[in-house]
Amino acid sequence: MSDVVWVFPGQGSQKVGMGKELAEKSSIARNVFNEVDRALGFDLSRTIFEGPSEELLRTTNQQPAILAASVAYLRVLRASGELPEPGWVAGHSLGEYSALVAAGAMSLADAARLVRRRGELMEEHGLGGMVAVLGLDATVLENVARETGTEIANFNAPGQITLSGRADGLEAAGKLAKEQGARRVLPLPVNGAFHSSLMEPVAEALWPMIAETTIDRPSVPLIANVDGRAISEPDELRAELRAQITASVRWIDVVQSAAAAGACRFYEVGPGKVLSGLIGRILPNASAAPVEPLLASLVY
C-alpha cells in the first residue's frame, strides 16, 4: 500500500489569482475551472482569477473556488506524473469534498453545486463567529468551552485550536483562555460559528441535497474529520458530510490515524501551505509538502 496521503485545504487558503497562470498554460486546469463555471451557471473563475478579494472572501464563493483550484492542481499534477498516488485522502472541512472528487467518489460538478449551496446556507444562518486560541492545552480549552457556552470547532494542531460560539460566549472564552495561559486569542474572519451546534440548520437544509447526490465507493479511503476513521462506504461518506457541518474538525486525529495506518508522506493539494504546517507540528518526523512548488516547476 502507498504511504502517501493527499490532503486538501478548507476555507482560508484562498487567494485572488490562484490557478490563473496554470489555467492559461494548461488545458487540463482550464477545463476544471470551466466545468465548475458550467455547474454553477456563472463565471466564478473570473472572481477567482481577478477578484475583487471581497467577493472571493464570501463563503458562498470561497468554498467552490477552493474546490476548483484544488482539483485543477491535482489533475495537472497527475497528468504530469509528479504526484505519487495515495493510500488515503483527507480534507480539512470543505476539503473533504475535494478529497472525494480526487478519490473518484463524487463528480466535480456535483461537488461544486454542493459546496456552493453549503456556503449559501452558512451565510444565511451566520450566527456567531470563531476565534483561534494559541498555546493552550486541549483539555484546558475544553473546560473553557464548557464554562463559556462555546464549542471547539477545530483541533488543528497541538496548541492551535479554534472555538465557535455566539459573540458574548467567545468574548468570555477569550478572557478565560488568556487567564489559563493562552498565548494569543485571534478572531477569525468568518461569518458564523462553523463546526458547532449553531450550524444544525445548515446540516438539516443541506442533507436532502447530500442524500440525492451520487456518491460512489472511493478508490482509496477518506480519513474522516469527525472521528479520524478511514471510511469508504457511500452511506458513511454521506453521513460524514452531514456530521462535519456541526462537529469538530479533529485534524490531529486525522493525521495521527493516517500515520498509525502507515502513512508518512503528506501532499497538500490546493492553494497555500496551511495543512503542511499543521502536519509538521503534529508529526515532526513525517514529510509534509504543499504542491504549489511542484506546479511552478512544470514545463508545459
DSSP alpha helices (H): ranges in 134-273?
A: 138-148, 167-179, 200-212, 234-246, 251-260
Instruction: Read off φ and ψ for residue 217, nearest 5 degrees.
Output: -65, 125
Distance, CA of 290 to CA of 9 (rounded, Å): 10
Inter-CA distances, 101 with 19, 146, 208, 216, 275, Å:
18, 36, 19, 10, 19
Distance, CA of 100 to CA of 91 (rounded, Å): 9
Instruction: Extract the C-alpha cell encoding 71.
Output: 482539483
Length of the chain in residues, anyone? 300
Do the Cβ atoms of 22 and 39 come closer than 8 Å? Answer: no
Distance, CA of 101 to CA of 73 (rounded, Å): 13
Q: Which residues are catalytic?
A: 93, 195
Do the Cβ atoms of 259 and 286 come closer than 8 Å? Answer: yes
Instruction: Read off φ and ψ for residue 19, nearest 5 degrees.
Output: 80, -5
Amino acid occupying residue 88: W
Nearest 5°: the CA angle 197, 110, 106 is: 90
Residue 118 forms beta bridges with which residues? Answer: none
